Amino acid sequence: MTTHVKRAYRYRFYPAEAQAAELSRTFGCVRKVYNMALAARTEAWTLRQERVNYNATSAMLTVWKKSEELAFLNDVSSVPLQQALRHLQAAFTAFFAKRSKYPRFKSRKKSRKSAEYTSSAFRFREGELTLAKMAQPLDIVWSRPLPEGALPSTVTVSQDAAGRWFVSLLVEDPAVQPLPAGGSAVGIDAGLDHLLTLSTGEKITNPRHERRDRARLARAQRDLARKARGDGANRAKARRKVAKVYARIADRRRDHLHKLTTRLVRENQTLVIEDLTVRNMLSNGKLSRAISDAAWSQFRSMLEYKAAWYGREVIAVDRWYPSSKLCSVCGTLQKRMPLGVRIWTCACGATHDRDVNAAKNLLAAGLAVSACGAGVRPQWESSRTGQSVTKQESPRREP
Contacts (Cβ under 8 Å, ≥6 apart) of 307: 265, 271, 313, 314
Length of the chain, in residues: 399
Is 274 among the residues known to form the active site?
Answer: yes
What letter does residue 155 receive in the DSSP assignment?
E
Are 258 and 299 spatial neighbours (Cβ–Cβ below 8 Å)?
no
Q: Could you say which of 22, 210, 293, 355 is catalytic?
A: 355
- Cα–Cα dist 163/20, whole Å: 11
Q: Could you say which of 189, 210, 293, 393 is catalytic?
A: 189
Q: Could you say which of 210, 274, 293, 393 is catalytic?
A: 274
Q: Does residue 370 sit in helix, strand or coil?
A: helix
**Strands 313-318 and 270-275, sheet pairing:** parallel
Contacts (Cβ under 8 Å, ≥6 apart) of 321: 274, 361, 362, 365, 376, 377, 378
Is 355 among the residues known to form the active site?
Answer: yes
Q: Does residue 125 sit in helix, strand or coil?
A: strand
Is 381 among the residues known to form the active site?
Answer: no
List % helix, strand, coil for the chain (3-state, nearest 5).
Answer: 40, 20, 40
Q: Which residues belong to the active site?
A: 189, 274, 355
